[in-house]
Amino acid sequence: MDKIKIRGGKVLEGKIHISGAKNAALPLICASLLTDETVTLTNMPMLSDIKAMNLLLTQLGTQIDEFDDFIDGHPAKTYAYRTKEAVSLIAPYDYVRKMRASYYVLGPLLARYGKCELSLPGGCAIGARPMDIHLSSLEQMGAKIEIKNGYIFADVKGRLKGTHIIFPGVSVGATCNILMAAVLAEGRTVLENAAKEPEIGDLANLLNAMGAKIEGIGTSVLTIDGVEKLHGAKHKVIADRIEAGSYAVAAAITRGKIELINALPWTLKRPLQVLKDMGVRVTENENSIVIDAKGCTLTGQDIMTEPFPGFPTDLQAQFLALMLTAEGASMVTETIFENRFMHVPELLRMGANINVHGHASAIVRGVKKLSGAPVMATDLRASFALILAGLVAEGETTVNRVYHLDRGYEKLEEKLKSVGADIERIKEGDEE
């Protein structure tokens, strides 16, 4: 397994290009299953999760053509997806256990073929992450759902029926899945208490470009009038707000100055406000954000994760790392997942002062210095928090299990090196 080695103490300065959003690309790929025509996605990030999803769709019968592209000043991938006819309607355990977002094939396959067999994703490091909202909503649309031998057997006679659904909880995944189910359903579907993350808007925009009839994009009430058939389309993936927020913290924690090219300020309002409240200078341009913390003394701030437009849970670990270097105390409260403080024990080994209460909150007190150490990555965003701490710690930090990072951060060490970080990837077996 590769490792990443960082020598802390460098002030990061320069520009970083933000890639297309992983959490938009994954449902966008599955939306291509809804038509027998070609769906072309540009500005796609080069991530292992995208490769995994492409493998799954190939298994279902999708033809995928891959092109190297150059979008908005940075290399990206363009993929053309075409599912003339599915050869399988099964998402096997081996795929789903590696990437839970495989469950995004459920809505489209049920909508187009009236049938899908999906391995239950099971829990993951950050929580149980059940699918009850996905499944109960599909049942309200007329699907028969049976769970046997760790698989979901879903089918519907004829078409899914449009209906009025009030989600019992705000769920990004359920909103995406039901949106994709509703676009080919018979009649009107109203989704209340829908998630409003920008990635859902990106999916809805692609679906409408394919001929769907979705209204209320960006609000918590989505109205979908089902159509008989959808056609192909071309769509550029929205910029990754979590990647942008992660590198914004890299600038702030090293007291440097980084321009985040292609980042969209409207997708990061709450995190940018927290940075401003801490004393960071933030400049919001139309297609970039400048984070300037040069010479700043930062003060701790309380953060609480909430559904969009609240503070994103996917930036909690990164901001907690930032609070380690701020003056005073910060209360970090996690309300979305039940086990999302796994970065804490590793940060404590680097000399942090953090006290976790139960599962939901941690009090962080700024310390004068952190010391480099070998640390273990556990989940995607917690791993980035360890990288951030390594950027400011005295001495050398080695982050193990880097495969977590490769799921969600494209060319991570190249991007950080380009702004002055002393960072290198040690390929497995290359160690001296």
Active site residues: 124
Judged by beta carbon, residue 379 or residue 413, the one nearer ligand EPZ is 379
User: How far is it, in rounded angstroms, from Cα 203 to Cα 303?
Assistant: 28
Q: Quick check: 172 binds ligand EPZ (CB under 6 A)?
A: yes
Q: Quick check: 337 binds ligand EPZ (CB under 6 A)?
A: yes
Angle of helix 198-209 relative to helix 172-182, nearest 10 degrees, comes to 10
197, 213 contact by CB (below 8 A)? no
What minimum distance in Å lies between the beta carbon of 52 and ligand EPZ? 11
Q: Quick check: 314 binds ligand EPZ (CB under 6 A)?
A: yes
Q: Quick check: 381 binds ligand EPZ (CB under 6 A)?
A: yes
Site for ligand EPZ in 131-170 (CB under 6 A): 131-134, 169
Tokens of 177: 């899945």
Which member of 171, 267, 397, 398 binds ligand EPZ (CB under 6 A)?
171
Each as own residue / partner, the long-range contacts of residues 164-169 (CB below 8 Å, 24 or more positions apart, any chain) are: 164/189, 164/190, 164/192, 165/137, 165/140, 165/141, 165/189, 165/190, 165/191, 165/192, 166/192, 166/193, 167/133, 167/137, 167/191, 167/192, 167/193, 167/194, 168/133, 168/136, 168/193, 169/133, 169/193
Which among 66-74, 172-180, 184-192, 229-237 is the span making contact with ligand EPZ, rule CB under 6 A? 172-180
Q: Quick check: 57 binds ligand EPZ (CB under 6 A)?
A: no
The 8-class DSSP code of residue 37 comes to S
Which member of 408, 409, 412, 421 binds ligand EPZ (CB under 6 A)?
408
What minimum distance in Å lies between the beta carbon of 217 and ligand EPZ? 17
Neighbour-count burial of 132, counting CB atoms closer than 10 A to its CB (0-12 exposed, 13-18 middle, 19+ buried): exposed
Residue given tokens 């913390």 in the structure block: 293
Judged by beta carbon, residue 52 or residue 329, the one nearer ligand EPZ is 52
What minimum distance in Å lies between the beta carbon of 197 and ligand EPZ? 6
Judged by beta carbon, residue 62 or residue 171, the one nearer ligand EPZ is 171
The dihedral through the CA atoms of 275, 277, 278, 284 has a sign that is: positive
Q: Quick check: 323 binds ligand EPZ (CB under 6 A)?
A: no
Site for ligand EPZ in 107-136 (CB under 6 A): 127-134
Q: Quick check: 26 binds ligand EPZ (CB under 6 A)?
A: yes
Strand ranges in 1-104 using DSSP code E only, listed in sequence order:
3-7, 13-17, 38-44, 63-71, 74-82, 90-91
Strand partners, 288: 261
Q: Quick check: 380 binds ligand EPZ (CB under 6 A)?
A: yes
426, 4 contact by CB (below 8 A)? yes
Q: Quick check: 23 binds ligand EPZ (CB under 6 A)?
A: yes
Which among 59-67, 171-179, 260-268, 284-292 is the span making contact with ligand EPZ, rule CB under 6 A? 171-179
Contact residues for ligand EPZ (CB under 6 A)?
A: 23, 26, 101, 127-134, 169, 171-174, 195, 313-314, 336-337, 380-381, 408
